Amino acid sequence: MKLQMSQAGSLRARPARGLSALPRRHTVSVSAVASERLEATSSLNGGSTWNPSAWRSKPVVQQPEYLDQVEVVKAVAEIARMPPLIFAGECRTLEQRLAKASTGDAFVLFGGDCAEAFSQFSANRIRDLYRLILQMSIVLAFGGGVPIVKLGRIAGQFAKPRSAPTETIDGVTLPAYRGDIINGPEFNEESRRCDPWRLVKAYNQSAATLNLLRGFSYGGYAGLSRVSQWNLEFMKNTNEGHAYMDIAKRVDEAIQFMIACGMDTNMPFMRETEFYTCHECLLLDYEAALTRLDSTTDLWYGCSAHFLWCGERTRQLDHAHVDFLRGVNNPIGVKVSDKMDPNDIVTLIAMLNPSNTPGRLSIIVRMGARKLREHLPALISAVQRSGQVVTWVCDPMHGNTETVSGYKTRRYDNVRSEIEAFFDVHEQLGTVPGGVHLEMTGDNVTECIGGGASVSEDDLNSRYHTHCDPRLNAEQSLEIAFYVAQRLRQREQRGEDGVG
C-alpha cells in the first residue's frame, strides 16, 4: 500500500474521488421522490423565515421542568452574552471533511463520554480521552488508508434524554437524572431539582475544555512525531498497547524516511491536527442562546459545538428539535433505530438538508446487530432511490445496553457484532460505511463486559464510574479501532481489485 501524508496529518492510500472534490455548498440533484417529500414538509415549518427562537412555536419534548422561570431567563441571557464556543469557519471545514466520508475518501470517529460530569472535570481526563482518540485515529488511518475525521463527545455533552420523567427507589419517587447541565445524580430532592444556573456552569466548563483541546491540537502535542508518546500508561503491557506501539514505530520510520527525502517537519500537517466537538442538541434554551449569525456568510450557526445531532427520542418531524436543526448551518446528524420507516427517513432528510449538500447530514444508526441487518438495507435503499447524500455512521452502543448484577452495561462482543453488521450491509449494497460513534473513556474503567480488557460481570463494581451509560475503556476502544481498520483495509482492497 502506497502511503502519503494528507493535509490533516493522516496517512492516505489513494487520491480523492467522487463527491469528495466538491466545493462547499455544492448541491447534488435529488429525484422526484425526495422533491415530493420536501414539498410535503413545507406545511410542517410553515414556510416562515427561520430564527433561533422559532422552535418555541413547536411541540417540544425532553426539556427540564424548571420551578423558577425568572431564573431561567437570567441564566439564558448570561449565556447569550458569552462568546461563541466554536466558529463558523470551523464548521464549514468539518462539513467538507464529512462530505469526503460520505464517498469513502475519509472515515469519521466520534468518541467520548456518555455524559460529561462536573465532578469528574480535570485536565488529565481531557488529555487521556484526547490521546485515546488520537491513538484510534492513527490505527484507523494507517490500517484503513484514509484520513480520519476526529469528533469528541466533549465540551458540551452534558444532557441526556430519559425514557421516564421520574425515578423510584425504595418507594421514593424523584425527577430522573438528566445530566449535570440540568440536575445532579445523587438521589435526593435537592440534587434532582432542575437548576438553570447549571447551564452557565456547563458553558464555562465547555469553554475551558475547548481551550485545552485547541492547545493540544495546535501546540505540538498532536504532532505526528509524538505518535509513540500517546500511549496511556496503563495500556503499555496490554496486547492492544503493544499493537499500537508497533504501528507507532512504523509511522516513525515512515516519517524518518520522508525527512531524509527533504520533508520539512515544521509543516502544519506534521505539527497540528484537526479536532472537532459534538453533542446531542437536546436543551434548546442553551442551544438557542449560543446560536449566532456569521458575519462572513450571514448564516446562522449553532456555536455550542461543531457538530450537533438529534436523538432518536426527539426526531419528530413537526417538533421543535428538528425545526431548530434545520435552521443552523453546522453539519448535523440524526440518530435512528429500527423504528425508523424508510419513507419517513427520506422526508426527514429532505427537511434537514433540502439543498442535498454533501457533508451536511449524517445518519447515525443505533439498532443492535440483528435488527440492523434486518432494517438498515431498506433505509439505505430508500435514501439511494431518492438521490439524497448522507454520511452513514454506526452507533453500536445504544442498541446493546443491558442490566447485569444491578449495573447497566454493554458486552464488547455485541458492540463489535453491530459494527460488523454495519460493514456487512454496506458491502452487500455497494454503499459507504462512513464512521463509528462510540461512548468511551481514556480512564481505566470496568463498565463494559469482555474484550481485550477481559472485564467480567464480577468486575463491574471495581471501577464503575459513569453517571449514566457504560463506556468502553481504552483497551476495548483500541480493539474496536483495530477491527474497524481491518474492515476499511478490506474495503480498500476490494476497490483496488474492482470488486463491489
DSSP-derived secondary structure for 290-355 = TEEE-TTT--EEETT-SEEEE-GGG--TTSHHHHHHHH--S-EEEEE-TT--HHHHHHHHHHH-TT
Q: Which of 119-123, 234-238, 326-330, 466-470 has the lowest mean pLDDT?
A: 234-238
3-class SS at 17? coil
Instruction: Dump pLDDT digits (tens) for 310-366.
Output: 999 999 999 999 999 999 999 999 999 999 999 999 999 999 999 999 999 999 999
pLDDT tier for residue 40 given thresholds of 50, 70 and 90: low
Question: Once rounded to an integer, what is the mean pLDDT over residues 190-206?
Answer: 97
pLDDT at residue 204 tops 50: yes
**Does 426 show up as a binding residue in the annotation?**
no
CATH number of the domain bearing residue 276: 3.20.20.70
The mean pLDDT of the chain is 88
CA distances from 379 to 149, 396, 487 (A): 24, 17, 22
**Does 492 show up as a binding residue in the annotation?**
no
- Contacts of residue 332, Cβ cutoff 8 Å, sequence gap at least 6: 281, 307, 308, 309, 310, 325, 352, 360, 361, 362
Strands 4-5 and 11-12: antiparallel
pLDDT tier for residue 115 given thresholds of 50, 70 and 90: very high
Give which of 23, 7, 187, 47 is closest to 95, Cα–Cα.
23
200 or 18, which is more confident: 200
pLDDT tier for residue 7 given thresholds of 50, 70 and 90: very low
* Neighbouring-strand partners of residue 151: 110, 276
**Does 128 show up as a binding residue in the annotation?**
no
pLDDT number for residue 465:
82
Question: Once rounded to an integer, what is the mean pLDDT over residues 105-115?
Answer: 96
- Residue identified by cell 502511503 is 3
Give the helix/strand (H/E) hosting 234. none
**Does 313 show up as a binding residue in the annotation?**
yes
**Does 131 show up as a binding residue in the annotation?**
no
Q: What is the pTM of this model?
A: 0.89
- Contacts of residue 58, Cβ cutoff 8 Å, sequence gap at least 6: 318, 319, 320, 323
The grid coordinates of residue 55 equal 422552535
pLDDT number for residue 169:
92
Does some domain include residue 25?
Answer: yes
pLDDT number for residue 222:
77
Q: Alpha-carbon torsion 153, 212, 445, 234, what sign?
A: positive
Task: List the domain range (segments joined by +) for residue 465.
Answer: 4-165+199-496
Question: Once rounded to an integer, what is the mean pLDDT over residues 477-493?
Answer: 92
Q: Do you know the residue count of the chain?
A: 500
- What's 124's DSSP letter? H
**Does 489 show up as a binding residue in the annotation?**
no
Q: What percent of the chain has pLDDT over 90?
A: 69
pLDDT number for residue 73:
97
Does some domain include residue 43?
Answer: yes
**Does 125 show up as a binding residue in the annotation?**
no
In the 3-class helix/strand/coil scheme, how is 148-177 assigned residue by residue?
EEEEEECCCCCCCCCCCCEEEECCEEEECC
CA distances from 391 to 50, 334, 492 (A): 25, 11, 18
CA distances from 451 to 199, 411, 441, 460, 477 (A): 37, 8, 15, 14, 9
**Does 366 show up as a binding residue in the annotation?**
yes
**Does 114 show up as a binding residue in the annotation?**
yes
Burial 337-356 (b: 16+ CB within 10 A, else e): bbebebebbbbbbbbbbbeb
pLDDT number for residue 44:
56
Does some domain include residue 34?
Answer: yes
pLDDT tier for residue 15 given thresholds of 50, 70 and 90: very low
> 213 near 206, Cβ under 8 Å?
no
Q: What percent of the chain has pLDDT over 70?
A: 86
Select, from the ranges 49-53, 374-378, 490-494, the one with the highest average predicted confidence (pLDDT): 374-378
Judged by phi (left if over 0) then psi (alpha if -120 to 50, else beta), residue 232 lies in beta
3-class SS at 200? helix
pLDDT number for residue 41:
55
270 or 139, which is more confident: 139
Query: In the chain, how many domains are there?
Result: 1
